Structure 1
Amino acid sequence: MAQHNELGREAEQLAAEYLSAKGYQLKESNFRYKHAEIDLIMEFKGLLVFVEVKFRSGTGFGYAEEFVDYRKRQLIIRAADHYIHKVDWHKDIRFDIVGVYKDKSGVIRFKQFEDAFY
């Protein structure tokens, strides 16, 4: 597996742990539908939350939320729609982005963007 894929998987695990500590319950990770993948599907206070995780080693090339473009959002929405029908979900949903930032000294920080798109 390429190093960027390994870093991505590690970031998803760290984000899941971060959100779990905030009271989120992991329902599924790496949910795939056709060409789309949802990194994390979590439940929080009656909401089904679809989470896109982005890893950045610094912000020199931009922030995590800037890397979820229109096409990526549309793929996530399509996959979420499929998941909602699959599990027969009838409550509210939300789309979040979690940025996982690692600085030069190895310190990990998180930035969560709730209700980032729809």
Structure 2
Amino acid sequence: MAEHNDSGRLAEQLAADWLVSKGYELKETNYRHGYAEIDLILEHRGLLVFVEVKFRSGTGFGYAEEFVDSVKKKLIVKAADQYIFESDWKKDIRFDIVGVYKDREGTVRFRHFEDAFY
């Protein structure tokens, strides 16, 4: 597996652990439907939360949330629709982005954008 894939998977695990520590309940990781993938699906305060995780080893090329384009958003929404159908979810939903940043010293930080898109 390529190094960037390893970094991405690690970032997803770190983000999941971080969100669970904030009271989220992890339902699913790497949910796939067709060409679409949702990194994390969690439940929090009665909401089903679909999370796109982006890893950056610095901000020189921009912040994580800037790398979720309209095509990616449409694919996530399409996969979320399928998940909602399969799980028979009847309550509200939300789409979030979690940026995972690692600085030169190796410190990992998170930026959570709730209700980032729909």
If the TM-score is normalised by the length of the shorter chain, which range does it land in? over 0.9
Partner in structure 2 of residue 87 of structure 1: 87
Give the match's secondary structure for 1:23: coil
The C-alpha deviation readout for 1:50-105, integer Å capped at 9, x for no partner, is 00000000000000000000000000000000000000000000000000000011
Query: Counterpart of 1:39 in structure 2: which amino acid?
Result: D
Structure-1-length-normalised TM-score: 1.00
Q: Does residue 15 of the first structure (1) align with residue 21 of the second (2)? A: no
Q: Which runs of 5+ in 1 are unaligned?
A: none
Q: How does 1:1-118 map to 2 (within 5 A)?
A: 1-118=1-118
* Structure 1 residue ranges, 4+ long, deviating more than 6 angstroms after superposition: none
Distance 1:103 1:114 in 2: 23
The C-alpha deviation readout for 1:15-39, integer Å capped at 9, x for no partner, is 0000000000000000000000000
Q: Which runs of 5+ in 2 are unaligned?
A: none
Distance 2:39 2:31 in 1: 7
Structure-2-length-normalised TM-score: 1.00
Sequence identity of aligned pairs in percent? 71
